[in-house]
Structure 1
Amino acid sequence: MIVFIMIFGILIIILQYIIWIYAPIEATLGIVQKIFYLHLPFAWWGMMSFLLVFIGSVGFLITKRDNFDFLARASAEIGVLFSAIALVTGSIWAKSSWGIWWTWDPRLTTTLIMWFIYMGYVLIQSLDISRRKKQNIAAVIGIVAFLDVPLVFISARIWRSVHPAVFYAKGGGLSIEMLYTVSAALVTFFFLWLSLLVLRFRQLLLEDRIKGMFFEIIKEL
């Protein structure tokens, strides 16, 4: 995990040069467009988190192993955080691009719905009910909730949307410099995402072990 954090620290410094010096200033939006290089990675890795929630949920229902539940739980928490940042940065971009902070565009609407669904998943994981019952309920929700994730991705393509489809139509209108920059941002924030995922997963494992030791001590008293 320390290695991932160090790599992210180095890459985020390099990324600043790429964003502010190498990448051109967009002709219409100006300097505000550069928030796109934060918005897209957080949105992208947020959805990757929800894919892991799906995988972890399926794995738990098949094997009943706690590690799969911990993976799904850690991924959901990070996905909710990253998606929230994506929604906020997207609103800032929208204000400059469309003149409003929010519009019920298909991409924005499906993303907001996705955020609420996974926030519900996180809340369920915090309920004070039977552990196995909670894990089973969360796993089912983690599987069903994933139906909205591909819908978010394709919403700008199947419905009339003001939201740009970035990786579409030969780059979605991005210049080669912008395409390189957003690719560098995706790689950079991958290491932040991975560091947080490993950290949270290890925290859940440690928390479970401590609780197990505590209950063993109580039994012996």
Structure 2
Amino acid sequence: MFGLANPDRFLRFTHPLMPVVWTLAVVLLAAGTWLAFTAPEDFRQGDTVRIMFVHVPAASVGLGIYLALGVSSFFALVFRHPLADAAARAAALPGAAFTALALVTGSLWGKPMWGAWWVWGDARLMSELVLLLFYIGYMALRASIDDETRAARAAAVLGLVGLVNLPIIKFSVDWWNTLHQPASLLRADGPSVTADILAPLLTSMAAWAVFFLAVWLTAIRTEIIRRRVLSIRARRAQEA
């Protein structure tokens, strides 16, 4: 990991991987979509269960993205890891998009199942909304400070603070009495969903995870190039 901290080495290492990761993402997304539409209806939820093949992957990957952002922020703030800040910055926008998609699809599922688009008292919903606000706050903080070094440090602190929210999201259904259903996959007694629903769900989760990886690597590479362009412009301005 520390060997890849060098931007040139990172670019060389990831260059041949990009078409592979993007191709794998497209294949998995196609397979997950096909399985989602061909899966049988749920005996309680009917066709509404198909929303879960988007909602669950979006929510779980959104949590994973913020973990990646927080860990990157830690290395950027404490160890001045050369690529850590770029990685954190590159994760923010995809993370916000995944989390927003989870909230929207959750509302679409909640209306027919709960009879309401949104329940303000539900701990899972509120903590997920807080996660989206952390993503937005991270991006807004970076954009509001002209000095990139100061912006990176301030955003890294906010990124670390936001990590406190992750276990709250994960265990909110266990700690409080909420409308949101408890865990269906990561259970001590095994998944509580049937195999015909589990297969498309796991495929969709893998697809969205690989899709994020492809987007993230592309965004990090783009951020490295952007910073190099800014550095060249600054150097030329000084010489002029």
Shorter-chain TM-score bucket reads: over 0.9
Relative to the length of structure 1, the TM-score reads 0.94
Once the two structures are overlaid, the 10-residue window that deviates more, 127-136 or 165-174, is 165-174
Name which of 153, 158, 180 aligns with 1:163. 180
Equivalent in the alignment of 1:121: 138
Letter in 1 for 2:95: G
Figure out how many residues of one structure are paired with residues of the other and give that number: 220
Query: Secondary structure at the residue paired with 1:25?
Result: coil
Structure 1 runs, 4 residues or longer, greater than 6 Å off? none
Equivalent in the alignment of 2:66: 50
Give yes or no for contact 2:127–2:165 (8 Å, CA) kept in 1: yes
Could you tell me the percent identity over the aligned residues? 26
Letter in 2 for 1:98: W
- Distance (whole Å) between structure 2 residues aligned to residue 126 and residue 188 of structure 1: 31
Once the two structures are overlaid, the 10-residue window that deviates more, 154-163 or 58-67, is 58-67
- Distance (whole Å) between structure 1 residues aligned to residue 79 and residue 189 of structure 2: 43
1:195-218 CA distances to partner (integer Å, 9 max, x unpaired)? 111111111111100000101111
Equivalent in the alignment of 2:36: 19
Give yes or no for contact 2:56–2:102 (8 Å, CA) kept in 1: yes
Letter in 2 for 1:115: L
Query: Secondary structure at the residue paired with 1:198?
Result: helix
1:62-110 CA distances to partner (integer Å, 9 max, x unpaired)? 2223411111111122111100000001100001111110012110011
Letter in 1 for 2:146: I
Name which of 40, 55, 62 aligns with 1:39. 55
Name which of 82, 97, 102 aligns with 2:118. 102
Residue 65 of structure 1 pairs with residue 84 of structure 2: no
The Cα of 1:173 is off from its aligned counterpart by: 3.5
Give yes or no for contact 1:164–1:172 (8 Å, CA) kept in 2: no
The Cα of 1:134 is off from its aligned counterpart by: 1.2
Equivalent in the alignment of 2:20: 3
Name which of 153, 162, 170 aligns with 1:145. 162
- Distance (whole Å) between structure 1 residues aligned to residue 196 and residue 64 of structure 2: 25
Give yes or no for contact 1:94–1:100 (8 Å, CA) kept in 2: yes
Equivalent in the alignment of 2:207: 188
Query: Secondary structure at the residue paired with 2:174?
Result: helix
Residue 197 of structure 1 pairs with residue 216 of structure 2: yes
Equivalent in the alignment of 2:106: 90
Letter in 2 for 1:14: A
- Distance (whole Å) between structure 2 residues aligned to residue 157 and residue 143 of structure 1: 24
Shift of the 194–153 alpha-carbon distance from structure 1 to 2, 3 Å rule, reads same
Query: Secondary structure at the residue paired with 1:78?
Result: helix
- Distance (whole Å) between structure 2 residues aligned to residue 171 and residue 18 of structure 1: 22
Residue 219 of structure 1 pairs with residue 238 of structure 2: yes
The Cα of 1:143 is off from its aligned counterpart by: 0.5
The Cα of 1:157 is off from its aligned counterpart by: 1.3
Letter in 2 for 1:16: T
Q: Which runs of 5+ in 1 are unaligned?
A: none
Query: Secondary structure at the residue paired with 1:192?
Result: helix
- Distance (whole Å) between structure 2 residues aligned to residue 60 and residue 16 of structure 1: 37
Please tell me the root mean square deviation across aligned C-alpha atoms, in Å. 1.5
